[in-house]
Amino acid sequence: MQGRIVGKVKRVNGPVLTASGITDAQMMELVHVSDLGIVGEIVKLREGEATIQVYEDATGIKPGDNIYGSGMSLSAELAPGLIGNIYDGIQRPLEELKKLSGDFIGKGIAASAVDHDKLWHFVPSVSVGDKLHKGSIIGSVQETERVVHRVMIPPTVEGELVVSSIVAEGDYRVRDELALVISDKGKKTSVSMLQYWPIRRPRPVADHADLREPLVTGLRVIDTLFPLSKGGTVAIPGGFGTGKTMTQHAIAQWCDADIIVYIGCGERGNEMTDVLREFPHLTDPRTGLSLMQRTILIANTSNMPVSAREASIYTGVTMAEYYRDMGYNVAIMADSTSRWAEALRELSGRMEEMPAEEGFPAYLPTRIAQFYERAGHMKTLGGGEGSVSIIGAVSPQGGDFSEPVTSHTKRFVRAFWGLDRALASARHYPAISWLESYSEYTDEVKDWWNGQSQNSWSANRQKIMELLQKEVRLQQIVKLVGPDALPDSQNFILEVCSLFKTAFLQQNAFDEIDRYCSIEKQTKMLSIILRYYELGLEAIQKGVPLVKIRRLQVVQDITKMRFSVSNDHVDDIDKLELKLERSMMQLGSIYEQ
């Protein structure tokens, strides 16, 4: 057993242990318990005693077992080979664990997160004598066909650095020394492809950069109405069956992030199995390659140790920050933070801490804030820019958005995509409610969007949101007195909003054309629907009955345009708009006479 003996087990309470005789141990130190080598972490220290949470099944641990210290915190292993891999909550590669222990993970089984014996072709980008600093890039490795892995000087190195030696282009292992740098104080640092970083500590950055570009998802309700910027945070709350996981899957496949980190945190085993089976066979629409060429999966199902579930989101965000420091835009899918909060509650209860609302620990808001605050668009230490966007699913019991996890999450995110059970029951997907959802990134991404839409996006978005608000008020009147009591001009608002929901907000993930909608197609679709509203109002003012407008063939064509017009032929929508104008003009001329 590696490490020194720092104490002995005194009490076992599930995944929470009490240790006595503690000597030479530190807070949050990684430890191994008993000769089984079960991984744990010191979370409390008292005089001579410590509380340890273990990340594996504690069956078999007994009082008197030795506790071995490692001298370091629970850390992520960062090197080429992360992309395309599947890990558990403490970054053990599941495929390697299966080779070591079969279909069931044995106690104390350990494997490196990346293959230490694999050779990577390293291409240096610096020379002897070059002046560098922490975070500087010294060379690159082709990690996958999609991702170039940039080898960086660790962010813990201090002072101005000078390259003392650098290897020639060639094949090297992750532990091999690639460069030697000397600081202005004379300290020598060996640089390899491999870094370790404590998962609970954010990686340092040079500065925050402005949020100015949206994370394009291809989902119209998100991109057009409730956009998320690169480096932003968003919560997707919804009850069982409302489509949280499927929405995240669609975003993971179609969004324009460079790297995807998908964290299955406490989800049901069959759901996670579907992810693990489907993702390797999904195709990246931008490159035609496997989606796994830019994806890291963390699988920590509901029947796996609860402590590892608590650690899994920190493991995921640490790997995301690592690729952000290379200059990449990374998107994290955390599914679901409610299960993570339940892990906190269970561990807190076993440690006999004072519970707060609904039994959650009093520090729940702090932990949620610490997670979401690690998102952002950053200026990296290496002089570039990168971002981490966090998309967290929340599973409120009974769909109650006032429960603690959802309400606290809303305090720390700037976008909220609330899923509506009534929409899901009506087979309206994505079931994102346009009444409960919001985005505070609209102003940040407005200039980008207007540049893509001839300065029409901001005004058109405002118009359609106002129409949706008017529809709510009119629907209340209709429930009281019926639609016949409304004039045609107001009934037409209901008609346009119904068309907007069917032709724009609804999206079929199984349709080859409709599953992804380009920015250009989205702007043209919104524009033609608003044009229909303007022309229809003019026609009604000329005396045209609403029923005549409804029966126009072009209105049916607009309803079907999401299926009939592909992203490569968006000019067909312009032709459709000309047809709309001609039809309305002919209809208006009849009633003017």
Residue 222 and residue 264 in one domain: yes
Residue 283 and residue 428 in one domain: yes
Q: Supply the Cα-derived Rg of the chain in whole angstroms.
A: 28
**Residue 64 belongs to domain with CATH number:** 2.40.30.20
Average pLDDT estimate for 86-106? 87
- pTM equals 0.94
**Residue 144 belongs to domain with CATH number:** 2.40.50.100
Round to whole Å and give the CA distance between 579 and 554.
7
Look-up: residue for tokens 């106690």?
107
Q: In this structure, is residue 100 part of a structural domain?
A: no
Which of 445, 470, 494 is a domain's end point?
A: 445
Residue 425 and residue 386 in one domain: yes
Round to whole Å and give the CA distance between 259 and 146.
9
Q: In this structure, is residue 171 part of a structural domain?
A: yes
Q: Which domain holds residue 515?
A: 457-592
Domain count within the chain: 4
Q: List strands edge to edge, sheet with 137-142.
A: 148-152, 137-142, 120-124, 170-172
pLDDT at 3: 73
Whose CA is closest to 179, among 148, 205, 157, 206?
157
Cis amide prior to 73 (ω within 30 degrees): no
Looking only at the bridges linking them, the beta strands covering 86-87 and 29-33 are: unpaired
Task: Say if CB 558 and CB 503 are below 8 A apart.
Answer: yes
Task: Say if CB 63 and CB 100 are below 8 A apart.
Answer: no
Task: Say if CB 387 and CB 231 are below 8 A apart.
Answer: yes
SS3 312: helix
Residue 593 or residue 585, greater confidence = 585
**Is the per-residue pLDDT at 434 higher than 90?**
yes
Instruction: Specify the amino acid at residue 294.
Output: R
Residue 420 and residue 564 in one domain: no
Residue 237 and residue 348 in one domain: yes
pLDDT at 82: 96
Q: List pLDDT tens digits, range 187-241.
A: 999 999 999 999 999 999 999 999 999 999 999 999 999 999 999 999 999 988 8
Residue 376 and residue 343 in one domain: yes
pLDDT at 44: 92
484 CB burial (10 A radius; 0-12, 13-18, 19+): exposed
**Is the per-residue pLDDT at 108 higher than 90?**
no
Tell me the H-state helices in 88-235.
Answer: 94-101, 220
What secondary structure, in 3-state letters, does 484-540 show? Answer: HHCCHHHHHHHHHHHHHHHHHHCCCCCCCCCCCCCHHHHHHHHHHHHHHHHHHHHHH
Identify any residues that bridge with 12 across adjacent strands, giving them in sequence order.
17
Which of 445, 465, 492 is a domain's end point?
A: 445
**Residue 561 belongs to domain with CATH number:** 1.10.1140.10
Q: In this structure, is residue 113 part of a structural domain?
A: no
Per-residue pLDDT band for 1 (boundaries 50, 70, 90) equals very low
Q: What is the mean pLDDT of the chain?
A: 92
Residue 436 and residue 495 in one domain: no
Instruction: Specify the amino acid at residue 480.
Output: L
Sign for the CA dihedral angle at 284, 286, 289, 292 comes to negative
Q: In this structure, is residue 99 part of a structural domain?
A: no
